[in-house]
C-alpha cells in the first residue's frame, strides 16, 4: 500500500504534468497561428509527452493500491510575445518541474518509500534531457535574434526534431 503523504505528493506532481501539457498546447497554438509551424509541431508533441508523464504517475498510484486524483489546474496565459518568450518560459517551467521532482524524491527518501523513489528515477533522467533540449533551442533562438532567415531555419529544425521524436528517435 502506498504511503499517503507520497500519494498526495504524486497526485500533485501529476497535476503539474497535466498543467505542462496544457501550457505547451497553448504555446503550440500560438506558434501555429503566428507562422512557426515547426515550433508548433514540436510543442504539440511535447504536450503529448507531458500527458504521458501524467498518465505514468496515475497508473503507478493505482497499481500501488492508492487512488489517483485529478486536481484543479491553474488558469493559463495564452498570449505570448515571441518564440524567444515562449522558449524562455518553457525552460523556466522545466526547471520548476525538475525542482518539483527532486523535492518529491526527497520526500520518498524521508518516508522510506524506496519503491516510489525508484519509480521517480525515470523522471529525474527525463528532466536532465528536457532541460538540455530546451536550453539548446533557446540558445539557437537567441543567436539568430531578429534575423528572419535564421528564424526560418530554427523553425525547420524544430520540425525535424518533432518528426524524429514521432519516429521514436529522441
Ligand atoms: Fe514532464 O517534463 Fe516537462 O514538464
Q: Which atom of ligand 1 is nearest to the CA of 17?
A: 1
Q: Are 25 and 47 in contact (CB under 8 A)?
A: yes
CA distance 127 to 125: 5
CA distance 160 to 158: 5
Number of structural domains found in the chain: 1
If you take atom 3 of ligand 1, which residue's CA is the nearest one?
Answer: 94
Does residue 170 register a pLDDT over 60?
Answer: no
pLDDT of residue 78: 85
Residue 146, C-alpha cell as written in the block:
531578429
Does residue 136 register a pLDDT over 90?
Answer: yes
**Interval between CA 146 and ligand 1 midpoint (Å):** 28
**Interval between CA 10 and ligand 1 midpoint (Å):** 14
List the domain range (segments joined by +) for residue 43: 4-168
In tens, the pLDDT along 27-40 reads 999 999 999 999 99
Q: Which atom of ligand 1 is nearest to the CA of 49?
A: 1
Dihedral angle sign, alpha carbons of residues 12, 14, 16, 18: negative
Residues written for the chain: 170
CATH code, domain with 76: 1.20.1260.10
91 within ligand 1 shell (Cβ under 6 A): no
Residue 126, C-alpha cell as written in the block:
527525463
Distances (CA, A) of 100 to 20, 81, 106: 13, 27, 10
What confidence tier does 166 reach under pLDDT thresholds 50, 70, 90?
confident
CA angle 31, 58, 100 (to 5 degrees): 65
pLDDT of residue 169: 60
18 within ligand 1 shell (Cβ under 6 A): no
If you take atom 1 of ligand 1, which residue's CA is the nearest one?
Answer: 50
Q: What is the mean pLDDT of the chain?
A: 95
In tens, the pLDDT along 74-117 reads 999 888 999 999 999 999 999 999 999 999 999 999 999 999 99
Q: Which atom of ligand 1 is nearest to the CA of 53?
A: 1
Q: Which H, E and C letters describe the chain, residue by residue?
A: CCCHHHHHHHHHHHHHHHHHHHHHHHHHHHHHHCCCHHHHHHHHHHHHHHHHHHHHHHHHHHHCCCCCCCCCCCCCCCCCCCHHHHHHHHHHHHHHHHHHHHHHHHHHHHCCCHHHHHHHHHHHHHHHHHHHHHHHHHHHHHHHCCCHHHHHHHHHHHHHHHHHHHCCCC
Q: What percent of the chain has pLDDT over 90?
A: 92
Amino acid at each position: 500500500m502506498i504511503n499517503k503523504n507520497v500519494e498526495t505528493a504524486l497526485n500533485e506532481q501529476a497535476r503539474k504534468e497535466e498543467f505542462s501539457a496544457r501550457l505547451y498546447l497553448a504555446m503550440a497554438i500560438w506558434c501555429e497561428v503566428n507562422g512557426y509551424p515547426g515550433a508548433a509541431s514540436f510543442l504539440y508533441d511535447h504536450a503529448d509527452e507531458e500527458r504521458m508523464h501524467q498518465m505514468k504517475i496515475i497508473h503507478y498510484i493505482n497499481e500501488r493500491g492508492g487512488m489517483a486524483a485529478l486536481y484543479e489546474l491553474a488558469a493559463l496565459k495564452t498570449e505570448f510575445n515571441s518564440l524567444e518568450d515562449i522558449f524562455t518560459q518553457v525552460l523556466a517551467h522545466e526547471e520548476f518541474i525538475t525542482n518539483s521532482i527532486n523535492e518529491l524524491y526527497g520526500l520518498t527518501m524521508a518516508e522510506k518509500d524506496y519503491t516510489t523513489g525508484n519509480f521517480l528515477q525515470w523522471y529525474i533522467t527525463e528532466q536532465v534531457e528536457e532541460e538540455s533540449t530546451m536550453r539548446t533551442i533557446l540558445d539557437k533562438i537567441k543567436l539568430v535574434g531578429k534575423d528572419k532567415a535564421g528564424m526560418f531555419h530554427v523553425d525547420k529544425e524544430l520540425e525535424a526534431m518533432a518528426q524524429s521524436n514521432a519516429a521514436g528517435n529522441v
